[in-house]
Structure 1
Amino acid sequence: MKNNNGKNEEMPNAALHELFVEQLRDVLGAERQLLKGLKKMSAAAVNPELIEAFKSHHDQTEGQIENLKQVFDSIGLTARGKKCKAMQGLLDEAEEIIEEFEDNEALDAALIGAAQKVEHYEIATYGCLVTYAKLMGHTESENLLQEILDQEKETDILLTEIAMSGVNAVGS
């Protein structure tokens, strides 16, 4: 049913719900794209701690994809992702870094920078999704998305710790 402003009144926050679903599809696609990117970054890295962090985040990302499927299920939709242009750009940049720095002692530092750009994109995205879920009263979705958001923040902190433990001190 439309009101005088031409807006759908059948569902509270219908426009926000539409945005929520669109962003869920985008981030599901992003996480699937990231799986391939993490394999490439892991293969290119030199520092054993960084290699392990990339491998661990790959496994974690697989779990996040399962959580996203549960989010879709909790709102009565089939999980369907779409290609995320932002993630594609971030992963293209990571590939350029690998090519440019493959024989350079700053490769791991550059990879950490590329990975943290990905994490910050994910943190921003999941932060918005948690807020949308909360505003719409999607408690199950909110909890699942908060769990992913917390994991992304932990990964960002871990990458900083690896960088500060010596990876960024190349040539010192």
Structure 2
Amino acid sequence: MGFFTKPIKTLDDLLLHLLQDIYYAEQQITKALPRMIEKSGDPAVRSAFEAHLRETETQIGRLEQAFRLHGSEAKGATCQAIDGIIKEANEVASDVDDPEVLQVALVGSAQAVEHYEIARYGTIIAIATQLGRTDIADALRPTLDEEKATDRKLSALAEERVNRQAAPVQEPV
């Protein structure tokens, strides 16, 4: 059976597995974000992470609604992808000495999480739609929109602030 909690024989089985996967991932993200907030010395980065933590808690509620609509218990299935992304984020953050470079690393790690979430929610919504489960797709579409918006905000924060602050000043030639 590999990583799956039960054999996946149908598209509906896959839908349920992916819901369990992202549910686990969101739970892990709510555990990781406070550590990232604590490590962040930049007020704008800290604020972005705090906002995303609150948003993630709302997203978990939507996932629980999607499980109810599916007729299944809300439970997670270990997601090695998110575990790996979080592990790497922690390792990189612990290796960075420069506080400004740390902000770049933290934002980059947060974007890796966002990209995973965007991919997962997009897939879930597409499968739910294919199965005629527009109720599930509609319940999760706001979350996908929020994940994309958070990624755009993190990109802007990186490009307009933290990357510039971490870059060495270039002397004119």
The verdict on a shared fold, with TM-score over 0.5 as the criterion, is: yes
Q: Over aligned residue pairs, what C-alpha RMSD do you find?
A: 1.1
For residues 127 and 108 of structure 1, what CA distance do their matches in structure 2 show?
A: 28
For 1:137 and 1:19, the matched residues in 2 are separated by: 15
Alignment partner of 1:61 out of 56, 70, 76: 56
1:19 match? 14
**Cα shift at 1:102:** 4.5
Asked if structure 1 preserves the Cα contact closer than 8 Å seen for 2:41 and 2:99, the reply is no
Note if contact 1:74-1:140 (Cα within 8 Å) is conserved in structure 2.
yes
Question: Could you tell me which residue of structure 2 aligns to residue 142 of structure 1?
Answer: 137
Letter in 2 for 1:118: V
Contact 2:21 2:76 in 1 (8 A): yes
**CA distance in structure 1 between the aligned counterparts of 2:96 and 2:139, rounded to whole angstroms:** 37
Q: 1:90 aligns with which of 85, 93, 101?
A: 85
Give the Cα–Cα distance (whole angstroms) in 2 for the partners of residues 148 and 166 of structure 1: 26
CA displacement at 1:19 relative to structure 2: 0.3
Unaligned 5+ residue runs, structure 1?
1-13
**Residue in 1 aligned with 2:6?**
none
1:128 is aligned, of 111, 123, 131, to 123
Amino acid at match of 2:112: K
Counterpart CA distance in 2 for 1:88 and 1:71 is: 23
Partner of 1:40: 35
The alignment-based identity, stated in percent, is 38
Deviations 1:47-101 (A, max 9, x none): 1111011011011001100000000001111111122111100000111122011
TM-score, structure 2 length as denominator? 0.88
Instruction: Report deviation, 1:104.
Output: 3.9
Query: Aligned ranges for residues 94-109 of structure 1 at < 5 Å?
Result: 94-109=89-104
Give the one of 75, 83, 88 matched to 1:80: 75
Measured after TM superposition, the shift of residue 130 of structure 1 is 0.5
TM-score (norm. length: structure 1): 0.89
SS in 2 for 1:82: coil
Match of 2:150 among 149, 155, 165: 155
Which portions of structure 1, spanning 4 or more consecutive aligned residues, are displaced by more than 3 angstroms? Answer: none
Unaligned runs of 5+ in 2: 1-8
State the shift of 1:167 in Å.
Answer: 0.6
Per-residue deviation, 1:165: 1.6
CA contact (8 A) 1:44 1:102 kept: no
Q: Which letter does structure 1 place at the counterpart of 2:45?
A: L
Aligned residue type for 1:91: I
